[in-house]
């Protein structure tokens, strides 16, 4: 696992020891067959059903909530036993523009957040965790109550759909977000 992702998993395990996760730069979107490698890892580690490896379908399991994310230079997945649900996002922080942040968040969210680019990862992770309960647009999600837990590691609350809680880790060049509902 890459350093930042490994740190994120270690920190979140303190709150959710049942979470499983893997990630590597070898699964970045620039790598050949990265999606197949991620799915094969999920299937092997979780001993999941055969259809989890089917790229034509989202990675769904009868026993785990699974979330996958990838940036050009990193890819990974996280999972938690059902009925809990999990969402995961990884982004290269420099690629998140101020214009996008303005469009997908409220002024109150931007003022409350320690770094406005964190909102993108938090909202993406929450959106993924909502699964079949996702709203029409990410702008309908609210992220608030940011708290610094450790250097570069923040917790947040997510609403108004199913209540969520999550974390964002800023580990240059990546931002990582995980959210549970």
Residues 15-44, mean pLDDT to the nearest whole number: 95
- Residue 167 is predicted with a pLDDT of 97
Question: How many domains does the chain fold into?
Answer: 1
pLDDT tens across 70-123, in order? 999 999 999 999 999 999 999 998 889 999 999 999 999 999 999 999 999 999
pLDDT at 1 over 70: no
- Residue 162 is predicted with a pLDDT of 84
- Residue 2 is predicted with a pLDDT of 67
CA 71 → CA 4, 112, 165, distances in Å?
A: 14, 26, 23
Of residues 151 and 136, the one with the higher pLDDT is 151
Give dist(CA 118, CA 105) in Å, integer.
11
**Average pLDDT of the residues of the chain:** 93
Q: Which of 61, 70, 64, 71 is CA-nearest to residue 86?
A: 64
The full DSSP string for 120-155 is HHHHHHHHHHHGGG--SSGGG-EEEEEEEEETTEEE
* Residues of the domain holding 38: 3-180
pLDDT at 146 over 70: yes
pLDDT at 132 over 90: no
Give dist(CA 147, CA 79) in Å, integer.
24
């Amino acid at each position: 696992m890459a350093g930042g992702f490994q740190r994120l998993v270690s920190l979140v395990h303190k709150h959710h020891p049942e979470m499983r996760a893997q990630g590597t730069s070898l699964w970045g979107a620039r790598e050949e067959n990265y999606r197949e490698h991620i799915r094969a890892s999920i299937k092997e580690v979780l001993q999941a059903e055969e259809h989890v490896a089917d790229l034509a379908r989202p990675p769904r399991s009868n026993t785990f909530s699974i979330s996958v994310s990838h940036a050009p230079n990193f890819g990974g997945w996280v999972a938690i036993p059902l009925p809990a649900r999990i969402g995961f996002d990884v982004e290269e922080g420099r690629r998140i523009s101020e214009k996008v942040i303005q469009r997908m968040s409220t002024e109150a969210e931007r003022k409350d957040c320690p770094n406005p680019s964190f909102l993108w990862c938090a909202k993406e992770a929450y959106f993924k965790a909502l699964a079949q309960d996702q709203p029409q647009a990410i702008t309908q999600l609210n992220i608030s109550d940011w708290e610094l837990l450790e250097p570069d590691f923040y917790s947040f609350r997510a609403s108004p759909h199913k209540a969520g809680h999550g974390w964002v880790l800023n580990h240059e060049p990546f931002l990582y977000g995980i959210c549970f509902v």
